[in-house]
Amino acid sequence: MTQARKRRVFPFTAIVGQEEMKLALLLNVIDPRIGGVMIMGDRGTGKSTTIRALADLLPDIDVVAGDPYNSSPDDPDLQSAEVRQRLEHGEQLPTEKRQVPMVDLPLGATEDRLCGTIDIEKALSEGVRAFEPGLLAKANRGLLYVDEVNLLDDHLVDVLLDSAASGWNTVEREGVSVRHPARFVLIGSGNPEEGELRPQLLDRFGMSVEVRTVRDPELRVQVVDQRTAFDNDPDGFNTAVQATQDGLQARVVEAQNRLGQVQIDDDLRLRISAICGELDVDGLRGDIVTNRAARALAAFEGRTEVSEDDVARVAACCLRHRLRKDPLEQIDSGDRVVKVFCKVFDRADSGDRSQFELALAA
Protein backbone atom coordinates (compact mmCIF):
# COMPACT_ATOMS: atom_id res chain seq x y z
CA MET A 1 0.00 0.00 0.00
CA THR A 2 1.43 3.38 -1.03
CA GLN A 3 0.71 6.39 1.09
CA ALA A 4 -0.52 9.46 -0.74
CA ARG A 5 1.90 12.35 -0.78
CA LYS A 6 0.43 14.98 1.52
CA ARG A 7 3.13 17.61 1.25
CA ARG A 8 2.82 20.10 -1.55
CA VAL A 9 6.33 21.42 -1.74
CA PHE A 10 8.29 23.39 -4.29
CA PRO A 11 10.05 20.90 -6.63
CA PHE A 12 13.79 20.42 -6.24
CA THR A 13 14.60 20.73 -9.94
CA ALA A 14 12.80 24.10 -10.21
CA ILE A 15 15.01 25.79 -7.60
CA VAL A 16 17.10 28.50 -9.26
CA GLY A 17 20.78 28.81 -8.35
CA GLN A 18 22.43 27.60 -5.09
CA GLU A 19 24.16 24.80 -7.04
CA GLU A 20 26.74 24.09 -4.33
CA MET A 21 24.03 23.53 -1.72
CA LYS A 22 21.97 21.29 -4.01
CA LEU A 23 25.00 19.20 -4.95
CA ALA A 24 26.06 18.72 -1.31
CA LEU A 25 22.53 17.57 -0.37
CA LEU A 26 22.36 15.10 -3.26
CA LEU A 27 25.77 13.63 -2.41
CA ASN A 28 24.67 13.05 1.19
CA VAL A 29 21.56 11.25 0.00
CA ILE A 30 23.70 9.04 -2.26
CA ASP A 31 26.10 8.26 0.60
CA PRO A 32 24.70 9.19 4.06
CA ARG A 33 28.06 8.22 5.62
CA ILE A 34 29.44 11.55 4.38
CA GLY A 35 27.95 12.93 7.58
CA GLY A 36 25.41 15.59 6.72
CA VAL A 37 25.50 19.19 5.56
CA MET A 38 25.85 22.49 7.39
CA ILE A 39 24.32 25.36 5.39
CA MET A 40 25.25 28.87 6.48
CA GLY A 41 24.00 31.96 4.74
CA ASP A 42 21.67 34.88 4.42
CA ARG A 43 18.00 34.78 5.34
CA GLY A 44 15.56 34.09 2.52
CA THR A 45 18.00 32.21 0.28
CA GLY A 46 15.91 29.06 -0.07
CA LYS A 47 17.61 26.84 2.51
CA SER A 48 14.43 25.37 4.04
CA THR A 49 12.67 25.21 0.67
CA THR A 50 15.52 23.21 -0.87
CA ILE A 51 15.69 20.71 1.99
CA ARG A 52 11.94 20.02 1.96
CA ALA A 53 12.12 19.69 -1.82
CA LEU A 54 14.89 17.10 -1.46
CA ALA A 55 12.74 14.88 0.77
CA ASP A 56 9.89 15.08 -1.73
CA LEU A 57 12.24 14.19 -4.60
CA LEU A 58 13.38 10.89 -3.13
CA PRO A 59 11.56 7.64 -3.96
CA ASP A 60 9.33 5.94 -1.39
CA ILE A 61 11.00 3.37 0.85
CA ASP A 62 9.82 -0.10 1.93
CA VAL A 63 9.15 -0.28 5.68
CA VAL A 64 7.66 -2.82 8.08
CA ALA A 65 3.99 -1.90 8.41
CA GLY A 66 3.12 -0.16 11.67
CA ASP A 67 6.72 0.11 12.87
CA PRO A 68 7.51 3.52 14.46
CA TYR A 69 11.19 3.30 13.47
CA ASN A 70 10.66 2.94 9.69
CA SER A 71 12.41 -0.43 9.95
CA SER A 72 13.72 -1.98 6.75
CA PRO A 73 12.19 -5.39 5.86
CA ASP A 74 15.60 -6.85 4.91
CA ASP A 75 18.49 -4.81 6.43
CA PRO A 76 19.22 -5.78 10.08
CA ASP A 77 21.14 -2.51 10.64
CA LEU A 78 17.93 -0.59 9.92
CA GLN A 79 15.59 -2.71 12.05
CA SER A 80 14.27 -2.18 15.56
CA ALA A 81 14.72 -4.88 18.21
CA GLU A 82 11.01 -5.79 17.98
CA VAL A 83 11.22 -6.35 14.23
CA ARG A 84 14.34 -8.51 14.56
CA GLN A 85 12.65 -10.62 17.25
CA ARG A 86 9.59 -11.14 15.05
CA LEU A 87 11.81 -12.20 12.15
CA GLU A 88 13.76 -14.61 14.39
CA HIS A 89 10.45 -16.26 15.33
CA GLY A 90 9.76 -16.85 11.65
CA GLU A 91 6.98 -14.29 11.36
CA GLN A 92 6.16 -13.00 7.88
CA LEU A 93 6.14 -9.22 8.28
CA PRO A 94 3.75 -7.06 6.25
CA THR A 95 5.41 -4.15 4.45
CA GLU A 96 4.25 -0.82 3.10
CA LYS A 97 5.62 2.10 1.12
CA ARG A 98 6.35 5.34 2.94
CA GLN A 99 7.63 8.67 1.79
CA VAL A 100 11.16 9.36 2.98
CA PRO A 101 10.67 10.96 6.42
CA MET A 102 11.55 14.60 6.81
CA VAL A 103 11.79 15.67 10.46
CA ASP A 104 11.99 19.38 11.27
CA LEU A 105 13.51 19.82 14.73
CA PRO A 106 12.11 22.86 16.56
CA LEU A 107 14.52 24.99 18.55
CA GLY A 108 12.50 24.47 21.73
CA ALA A 109 12.70 20.67 21.59
CA THR A 110 13.73 18.86 24.76
CA GLU A 111 16.09 15.90 24.98
CA ASP A 112 13.13 13.61 25.82
CA ARG A 113 11.29 14.77 22.70
CA LEU A 114 14.39 14.18 20.61
CA CYS A 115 15.53 10.83 21.98
CA GLY A 116 12.27 9.36 23.31
CA THR A 117 10.86 8.83 26.77
CA ILE A 118 8.78 6.55 28.97
CA ASP A 119 5.08 6.30 28.06
CA ILE A 120 3.61 7.50 31.35
CA GLU A 121 0.02 6.88 30.26
CA LYS A 122 0.67 3.22 29.55
CA ALA A 123 2.67 2.88 32.76
CA LEU A 124 -0.27 4.20 34.81
CA SER A 125 -3.07 2.42 32.98
CA GLU A 126 -1.45 -0.95 32.26
CA GLY A 127 1.34 -1.09 34.83
CA VAL A 128 4.05 -1.70 32.20
CA ARG A 129 7.11 0.33 31.36
CA ALA A 130 6.91 1.24 27.68
CA PHE A 131 9.10 3.42 25.51
CA GLU A 132 7.66 6.26 23.48
CA PRO A 133 9.91 6.90 20.44
CA GLY A 134 11.17 10.43 19.78
CA LEU A 135 12.14 12.43 16.72
CA LEU A 136 15.34 10.42 16.14
CA ALA A 137 13.20 7.30 15.68
CA LYS A 138 10.92 9.11 13.26
CA ALA A 139 13.93 10.36 11.26
CA ASN A 140 15.42 6.88 10.72
CA ARG A 141 16.14 6.35 7.00
CA GLY A 142 15.25 9.97 6.25
CA LEU A 143 16.32 13.57 6.73
CA LEU A 144 16.58 15.47 10.01
CA TYR A 145 16.64 19.23 9.53
CA VAL A 146 17.63 21.75 12.21
CA ASP A 147 17.05 25.36 11.23
CA GLU A 148 19.15 27.88 13.16
CA VAL A 149 21.31 25.03 14.48
CA ASN A 150 23.70 27.63 15.90
CA LEU A 151 20.95 28.60 18.40
CA LEU A 152 20.26 25.00 19.50
CA ASP A 153 21.49 23.91 22.94
CA ASP A 154 24.96 22.39 22.64
CA HIS A 155 24.02 19.17 24.43
CA LEU A 156 21.21 18.56 21.90
CA VAL A 157 23.62 19.16 19.03
CA ASP A 158 25.97 16.60 20.64
CA VAL A 159 23.15 14.02 20.77
CA LEU A 160 22.24 14.68 17.15
CA LEU A 161 25.80 14.38 15.91
CA ASP A 162 26.48 11.21 17.92
CA SER A 163 23.36 9.53 16.51
CA ALA A 164 24.12 10.70 12.97
CA ALA A 165 27.66 9.31 13.21
CA SER A 166 26.78 5.95 14.77
CA GLY A 167 23.39 5.33 13.18
CA TRP A 168 21.91 4.34 16.57
CA ASN A 169 20.14 6.04 19.46
CA THR A 170 20.44 4.60 22.96
CA VAL A 171 18.08 5.73 25.71
CA GLU A 172 18.26 4.88 29.42
CA ARG A 173 15.12 6.02 31.28
CA GLU A 174 13.62 4.78 34.56
CA GLY A 175 15.09 1.30 34.28
CA VAL A 176 14.16 0.95 30.61
CA SER A 177 17.03 0.57 28.13
CA VAL A 178 16.21 1.02 24.46
CA ARG A 179 18.51 1.04 21.44
CA HIS A 180 17.06 1.68 18.02
CA PRO A 181 18.37 2.56 14.54
CA ALA A 182 18.65 6.28 13.82
CA ARG A 183 20.37 6.52 10.47
CA PHE A 184 19.54 9.84 8.87
CA VAL A 185 21.08 12.66 6.89
CA LEU A 186 21.61 15.53 9.34
CA ILE A 187 21.13 18.95 7.78
CA GLY A 188 21.72 22.12 9.75
CA SER A 189 21.26 25.70 8.63
CA GLY A 190 21.92 29.04 10.20
CA ASN A 191 22.78 32.68 9.78
CA PRO A 192 26.36 33.55 10.85
CA GLU A 193 25.11 36.92 12.16
CA GLU A 194 23.20 35.08 14.91
CA GLY A 195 26.21 33.20 16.25
CA GLU A 196 28.54 30.45 15.13
CA LEU A 197 28.82 26.80 16.07
CA ARG A 198 31.72 25.69 18.22
CA PRO A 199 34.56 24.45 15.95
CA GLN A 200 34.37 21.00 17.58
CA LEU A 201 30.71 20.67 16.55
CA LEU A 202 31.14 22.24 13.13
CA ASP A 203 33.87 19.69 12.36
CA ARG A 204 31.37 16.86 12.91
CA PHE A 205 29.29 17.88 9.89
CA GLY A 206 30.54 16.14 6.77
CA MET A 207 30.12 19.09 4.41
CA SER A 208 29.59 22.82 4.77
CA VAL A 209 28.18 25.18 2.17
CA GLU A 210 27.75 28.94 2.15
CA VAL A 211 24.75 30.43 0.38
CA ARG A 212 24.47 34.01 -0.72
CA THR A 213 21.59 36.18 -1.83
CA VAL A 214 21.26 36.24 -5.63
CA ARG A 215 22.31 39.68 -6.90
CA ASP A 216 21.68 39.27 -10.62
CA PRO A 217 18.36 41.02 -11.48
CA GLU A 218 17.36 38.47 -14.13
CA LEU A 219 17.88 35.54 -11.75
CA ARG A 220 15.95 37.33 -9.01
CA VAL A 221 13.02 37.86 -11.39
CA GLN A 222 13.21 34.19 -12.38
CA VAL A 223 13.03 33.13 -8.72
CA VAL A 224 10.03 35.39 -8.09
CA ASP A 225 8.23 34.15 -11.22
CA GLN A 226 8.83 30.49 -10.31
CA ARG A 227 7.54 30.98 -6.78
CA THR A 228 4.49 32.93 -7.95
CA ALA A 229 3.61 30.27 -10.52
CA PHE A 230 3.90 27.56 -7.86
CA ASP A 231 1.78 29.44 -5.32
CA ASN A 232 -0.94 30.11 -7.90
CA ASP A 233 -1.16 26.50 -9.12
CA PRO A 234 0.98 24.00 -7.17
CA ASP A 235 -0.39 20.92 -8.91
CA GLY A 236 0.02 22.37 -12.39
CA PHE A 237 3.53 23.59 -11.61
CA ASN A 238 4.57 20.18 -10.26
CA THR A 239 3.09 18.42 -13.28
CA ALA A 240 5.09 20.65 -15.63
CA VAL A 241 8.42 19.62 -14.03
CA GLN A 242 7.51 16.01 -13.17
CA ALA A 243 9.59 14.52 -15.99
CA THR A 244 12.67 16.42 -14.79
CA GLN A 245 11.99 15.34 -11.21
CA ASP A 246 11.65 11.70 -12.27
CA GLY A 247 14.91 11.92 -14.21
CA LEU A 248 16.85 13.29 -11.25
CA GLN A 249 15.28 10.73 -8.91
CA ALA A 250 16.39 7.94 -11.25
CA ARG A 251 19.95 9.35 -11.31
CA VAL A 252 20.09 9.38 -7.51
CA VAL A 253 18.85 5.78 -7.25
CA GLU A 254 21.34 4.61 -9.90
CA ALA A 255 24.14 6.43 -8.07
CA GLN A 256 23.21 4.74 -4.79
CA ASN A 257 23.41 1.35 -6.53
CA ARG A 258 26.67 2.23 -8.31
CA LEU A 259 28.46 3.66 -5.27
CA GLY A 260 29.96 0.33 -4.17
CA GLN A 261 31.70 -0.07 -7.53
CA VAL A 262 33.38 3.36 -7.56
CA GLN A 263 37.16 3.28 -7.12
CA ILE A 264 39.60 6.05 -6.21
CA ASP A 265 43.25 5.44 -7.05
CA ASP A 266 46.11 5.72 -4.58
CA ASP A 267 47.58 8.87 -6.14
CA LEU A 268 44.32 10.80 -5.71
CA ARG A 269 43.97 9.64 -2.11
CA LEU A 270 47.53 10.75 -1.39
CA ARG A 271 46.82 14.17 -2.89
CA ILE A 272 43.61 14.56 -0.88
CA SER A 273 45.58 13.87 2.29
CA ALA A 274 48.29 16.27 1.11
CA ILE A 275 45.65 19.02 0.79
CA CYS A 276 44.40 18.31 4.33
CA GLY A 277 47.95 18.33 5.66
CA GLU A 278 48.82 21.57 3.86
CA LEU A 279 45.69 23.23 5.31
CA ASP A 280 46.64 21.99 8.79
CA VAL A 281 43.26 20.26 9.23
CA ASP A 282 42.92 18.60 12.64
CA GLY A 283 42.09 14.90 12.68
CA LEU A 284 41.25 12.68 9.72
CA ARG A 285 37.59 13.50 9.15
CA GLY A 286 38.52 15.85 6.32
CA ASP A 287 40.37 13.08 4.45
CA ILE A 288 37.56 10.57 4.94
CA VAL A 289 34.73 12.90 3.96
CA THR A 290 36.53 14.22 0.87
CA ASN A 291 37.13 10.65 -0.33
CA ARG A 292 33.49 9.70 0.23
CA ALA A 293 32.09 12.85 -1.38
CA ALA A 294 34.31 12.44 -4.45
CA ARG A 295 33.16 8.82 -4.83
CA ALA A 296 29.51 9.85 -4.48
CA LEU A 297 29.97 12.54 -7.14
CA ALA A 298 31.54 10.05 -9.55
CA ALA A 299 28.61 7.67 -8.94
CA PHE A 300 26.12 10.49 -9.50
CA GLU A 301 27.70 11.24 -12.87
CA GLY A 302 27.59 7.60 -13.97
CA ARG A 303 31.28 6.75 -13.54
CA THR A 304 33.11 4.10 -11.51
CA GLU A 305 36.43 5.96 -11.31
CA VAL A 306 37.03 9.17 -9.36
CA SER A 307 38.73 11.97 -11.30
CA GLU A 308 40.67 15.09 -10.26
CA ASP A 309 37.67 17.21 -11.17
CA ASP A 310 35.51 15.27 -8.70
CA VAL A 311 37.96 16.16 -5.93
CA ALA A 312 38.04 19.78 -7.14
CA ARG A 313 34.26 20.10 -6.91
CA VAL A 314 33.90 18.71 -3.38
CA ALA A 315 37.11 19.85 -1.67
CA ALA A 316 35.90 23.28 -0.54
CA CYS A 317 32.61 21.91 0.83
CA CYS A 318 34.40 19.15 2.76
CA LEU A 319 37.24 21.23 4.21
CA ARG A 320 36.33 24.93 4.54
CA HIS A 321 34.67 24.50 7.95
CA ARG A 322 37.60 22.50 9.36
CA LEU A 323 40.17 25.26 8.95
CA ARG A 324 41.51 27.18 11.89
CA LYS A 325 40.21 30.73 11.92
CA ASP A 326 42.81 33.43 11.51
CA PRO A 327 41.35 36.82 12.51
CA LEU A 328 43.94 38.60 10.35
CA GLU A 329 43.23 36.50 7.26
CA GLN A 330 41.17 38.29 4.63
CA ILE A 331 40.80 35.41 2.19
CA ASP A 332 37.61 33.31 2.35
CA SER A 333 38.10 29.79 3.70
CA GLY A 334 36.71 28.28 0.51
CA ASP A 335 39.30 30.20 -1.50
CA ARG A 336 42.06 28.93 0.81
CA VAL A 337 41.05 25.37 -0.02
CA VAL A 338 41.04 26.14 -3.74
CA LYS A 339 44.52 27.71 -3.58
CA VAL A 340 45.96 24.67 -1.83
CA PHE A 341 44.17 22.30 -4.23
CA CYS A 342 45.73 24.16 -7.17
CA LYS A 343 49.15 23.89 -5.54
CA VAL A 344 48.90 20.15 -4.80
CA PHE A 345 47.40 19.28 -8.19
CA ASP A 346 49.72 21.68 -10.03
CA ARG A 347 46.94 23.70 -11.62
CA ALA A 348 46.94 27.36 -12.55
CA ASP A 349 45.46 29.32 -9.65
CA SER A 350 44.15 32.24 -11.69
CA GLY A 351 41.49 30.38 -13.63
CA ASP A 352 40.57 27.60 -11.33
CA ARG A 353 38.03 29.44 -9.21
CA SER A 354 35.86 30.02 -12.26
CA GLN A 355 36.41 26.40 -13.31
CA PHE A 356 35.12 25.28 -9.93
CA GLU A 357 32.00 27.42 -10.30
CA LEU A 358 31.41 26.25 -13.88
CA ALA A 359 31.80 22.64 -12.77
CA LEU A 360 29.22 23.16 -10.03
CA ALA A 361 26.81 24.79 -12.45
CA ALA A 362 27.11 21.78 -14.74
| Residues acting as catalytic residues | 285
CA distance 77 to 260: 17
67: left (phi over 0), alpha (psi -120 to 50) or beta: beta
Q: Report the sign of the C-alpha dihedral through residues 81, 85, 86, 88, in that order.
A: positive
CA distance 4 to 98: 9
Backbone angles phi, psi at 177, to 5 degrees: -115, 120
Angle between helices 308-319 and 333-344 (to 10 degrees): 150
Find all residues with CB under 8 Å of 81, minimum gap 6, and list them. Answer: 178, 179, 180
Number of neighbours of residue 314 by Cβ within 10 angstroms: 28
CA distance 31 to 194: 31
Amino acid identity, position 289: V
CA distance 255 to 301: 8
CA distance 182 to 12: 25
